[in-house]
A and B are shown apart, each in its own frame.
Chain A
Amino acid sequence: MQAFTLTQPSNIQSAVAAASEPQTKYIAGGTDLLQLAKDDIETPRQLVDLEPLPMSGIHAGPNGLRLEALARMSDVAAHPAVVHGWPVLSQALLASASPQIRNMATVGGNLLQRTRCGYFRDTGFACNKRVPGSGCPAINGENRMHAILGVSDHCIATNPGDMAVAMMVLDAELELIGRNGTRKVAIGDFHRLPADTPHIETILRPGELITGIAIPASAAARRSGYLKVRDRASFEFAVVSAAVALDMDGGTIRSARVAAGGVGTKPWRLPEVEAALTGKPARAATLQEAAGRAGEGAKTTAMNAFKLVLLRRAVLRALQTVAA
């Protein structure tokens, strides 16, 4: 790990000011950034330490949930109001990483964790995400874990998150602050498709900081769940995951929110599945038919065609569980 200076600001404004300097990164939980720095994937000259800032609150009320950006994954997962009112969020967090990592990692940082693509994480390989224009060995290489949705000719790396997938079905809104003030952005607009600029992963501007995440309360949020399929039962990234939130009127689905992880270059909403559920009775055949539509536009590789089949099965299982 190369040497860097550590700046410990006393408030958000001075943090944002410090982050406007070149080769500067924010550090919060540090669980991904320090891995990347040890492997020379990230080579910051200055880190702006957010840890001392009082930004870790979890505020739950009848109208919604507000997570301050430094709230720990473990604290959000275990919060009784989250477990009851937004179960998909709690389940997705508990399915993430290990107890140690969840105790350290923050929800703001989790939205920014970088892909687990082995070529990205090894400086011995070319990678368009790490070195723009250098090429993508994954497209014709070891790509079993890579994305099938949102891919480009430049990058097929999977977004690794679980929490963001849950947030996709909860209409979460991120609160950002930068040199030019604050703004809000929907979770679905936060991550970018790789296209021909896979090194630009989010809409964050240089030095801009996530300060909080607002999530509305709803009947669908209360009736929600997360299914994660992975190569071992714990402490592993998703091969495929599915988040579902249903607004039910008796046995009829008034509206549905469905998203998937492990398959997209960003957290992936499945409107084709949602449309096939809206206004329909929650019968086995309806769920089966809707789940069978998942993955519209998928583009698979030599090693990951199975993900499209697994995606449909995971969505079906998640729908069955949440509708039951």
Chain B
Amino acid sequence: MAKTYVSATINGESAEFLCETQQTLLDVLRDVIGLTGSKEGCGSGDCGACSVIVDDRLVCSCLMLGVEAEGKSITTIEGIANGDTLHPIQQKFLEYAALQCGFCTPGLIVATKALLDENPNPTETEARYWLAGNLCRCTGYDKVIRAVMDVAADMRGEKVA
């Protein structure tokens, strides 16, 4: 079947690609563009390991068609750090050891970024419900939530300073 030409912005840079209509955005990111940070856990929207931000909305890239990325701005885990400098969220996940096997981590960090972009001062309950779509089978979530609450406080402090 003929491929479709798609033009989008990925992590701040213009990107052009060809994809088949049945390829998901996750397929495109991993197999066409070569950005393998976003993971396929379940492929059905249950685990959140494929979470990316599309035009300021946190979505599951496994449930979006690649062709629907046309004209959209997409942020993946590869776009979170500033060059070699980790984003404060990434740094805090390391400090708290908020990961074990790491498979869910890209999705959790992208989801945390989307949370703090929208709500820089979440309650613990708000953070837990926001991250409800990101499953982690290793950590039991406690260290993840502590990292999120701490980095939120840090980032609010940076804005004041």
Interface residues of A in 228-248 (CB under 8 A from B): 234-235
Once A and B bind, how many residue pairs between them come within 8 Å at the CB atom? 78
- Minimal Cβ-Cβ distance residue in B for A78: B118
Residue total for A at the interface (Cβ-Cβ under 8 A) = 27
Inter-chain contact A51/B59, CB cutoff 8 Å = no
Inter-chain contact A5/B21, CB cutoff 8 Å = yes
Given the complex of chains A and B, what is the CA–CA distance between A244 and B102 in angstroms? 43
From A4, A31, A49, A235, give the contact of B132 (CB < 8 A).
Answer: A235
Inter-chain contact A30/B64, CB cutoff 8 Å = yes
Given the complex of chains A and B, what is the CA–CA distance between A5 and B20 in angstroms? 9
Interface string of A46-77 (1 = CB under 8 A from B): 01010100000000000000000000001000
Residue total for B at the interface (Cβ-Cβ under 8 A) = 29
- Minimal Cβ-Cβ distance residue in A for B133: A98
Give the Cβ gap from B153 to chain A, nearest Cβ, in Å.
21
Inter-chain contact A30/B133, CB cutoff 8 Å = no
Give the Cβ gap from A21 to chain B, nearest Cβ, in Å.
16
Asked if A2 is an interface residue, CB under 8 A from chain B, the answer is yes
Chain A interface main SS type:
mixed
Stretch touching chain A among B9-17, B40-48, B85-93: B40-48
Residues in B with CB closer than 8 Å to A1 are: 22
Asked if B136 is an interface residue, CB under 8 A from chain A, the answer is no
Residues in A with CB closer than 8 Å to B129 are: 99, 234
Inter-chain contact B1/A3, CB cutoff 8 Å = yes
Residues in A with CB closer than 8 Å to B4 are: 6
Residues in A with CB closer than 8 Å to B62 are: 34
B residues touching A (Cβ–Cβ < 8 Å)?
1, 4, 20-22, 24, 43-46, 48, 51, 57-60, 62-65, 67-68, 111, 114, 128-130, 132-133
Sample (6) of A-B pairs whose CB atoms are under 8 Å apart: A1-B22, A6-B67, A31-B45, A99-B111, A99-B132, A234-B128
